[in-house]
Structure 1
């Protein structure tokens, strides 16, 4: 049984980045009552959001059912599982499996997310191309994928999940960044998975879930409402770096057709 929040949980996001969709994906899979508060990246360091998260990063949540405001995507994932996944459909209660799920969530936050994000920055957003930096972080992405492959390849064919024999929140946490691999590495979908067929199969099982497809429908709607390009910059602004310069200068960044 999943405990559905009687009052909707407010989820603060800026649409482009992957971390917000880690939170939305989990909510959709749990069938929780929630509302999306999507706002512009321009305002991530301003009130009212800075009162929600003084670090000025998304996602963050406000849960009126427990009177809790929480930020950091990993902390939010653990909270949702503990508070709302009563039957532990996406988690375990046994000591070993519970802590292994926590281990993989931390690996996603400390390994996958930062390396993928920095690679994406140097690949697409840094004002000058630095081949050595791009190569270093692309290699780190491949290393993260190889770690996942080494675990999944050792699993029985009918139970290829990171922990135990079912999908957990720990598996789900990796989906949003892996979904962006073609963009991050500037490679075809087949190329990014070379040497990691078990990771590809694992990932592709999850992106076929209705909960993920609904999450991406929400993303597409939010991006369209804000007039954003794939890289998060408004239409009419060439790069995300230009976008940040305009924000710092206080210029109008409303999407230009």
Structure 2
């Protein structure tokens, strides 16, 4: 049994996809980020950084893992799925996973903040992060012109990591016009039953997009 602490965010969906794809038994603990539940002592004991997602593997001496990329690697190694054993193929998978962790996620996250949430519109910041987000999506498109998936012929944890961020490009104000290989890949992954299930783990907020933006704006400014 895996205890899964998450919220309806791209980083949370990355781990939800892995749990569903790997057919692992898990118990969801949905945290209310607006209520700062991720900063409470019981959760900080699992993740000292106070961010979702995190897991506790009850079948492995209640072993806790935080940081979404680390969780993906842990689950892949635990199950022997979606992470190649061959050293070069494994390295390629991890390279694209780190591409998401160090580039795609942070840059698109900043685009979200300045484009959607920050109370003061700062054109230079919006432009910078949208342009960098588009550049990173172009990098994916170039890779996917050569291979069906990011690590090559097989679907891996690298795809699980990048897809939840790529799919919200419009929320970041970033166009994917002309990125036909990226679009093909996004559509193919969206058809996977495990990915469809994962987007409801936890269920999306019942607030409208505008209400969600206002709530996050309140957190950003306090």
- TM-score past 0.5 threshold: yes
Secondary structure at the counterpart of residue 107 of structure 2? helix
2:47 paired with 1:53: yes
- Aligned-residue Cα RMSD (Å) equals 1.8
Structure 2 unpaired stretches of 5+ = none
Tell me the distance in 1 between the aligned counterparts of 2:215 and 2:13: 22
Runs of 4+ in 1 over 6 A off after TM superposition: none
2:213 paired with 1:230: no
Tell me the distance in 1 between the aligned counterparts of 2:116 and 2:132: 17
Tell me the distance in 1 between the aligned counterparts of 2:214 and 2:149: 40
Tell me the distance in 2 between the aligned counterparts of 1:150 and 1:203: 14
Q: Which residue of 2 aligns with 1:5?
A: none
Which has the greater radius of gyration?
Answer: 1
Name the count of aligned residue pairs: 219
Tell me the distance in 2 between the aligned counterparts of 1:75 and 1:114: 16
Structure 1 unpaired stretches of 5+ = 1-7, 249-257
Which residue of the other structure, out of 160, 175, 183, is the alignment partner of 1:172? 160
Tell me the distance in 2 between the aligned counterparts of 1:94 and 1:60: 28
Q: Which has the higher helix share?
A: 2
Say if 1:10 and 1:61, in contact at 8 Å, map to a contact too.
Answer: yes
- Larger relative contact order (CA 8 Å, sep ≥ 6): 2
Structure 1 residues 55-204: aligned runs within 5 Å: 55-67=49-61, 68-85=63-80, 88=81, 90-155=82-147, 160-185=148-173, 192-204=175-187
Shift of 1:244: 5.3
Which residue of the other structure, out of 5, 11, 14, is the alignment partner of 1:12? 5
Secondary structure at the counterpart of residue 69 of structure 1? strand
Shift of 1:239: 4.1
TM-score, normalised by the number of residues in structure 1: 0.80
Deviations 1:33-71 (A, max 9, x none): 011100211211112111111110010100011121010
Tell me the distance in 2 between the aligned counterparts of 1:9 and 1:60: 10
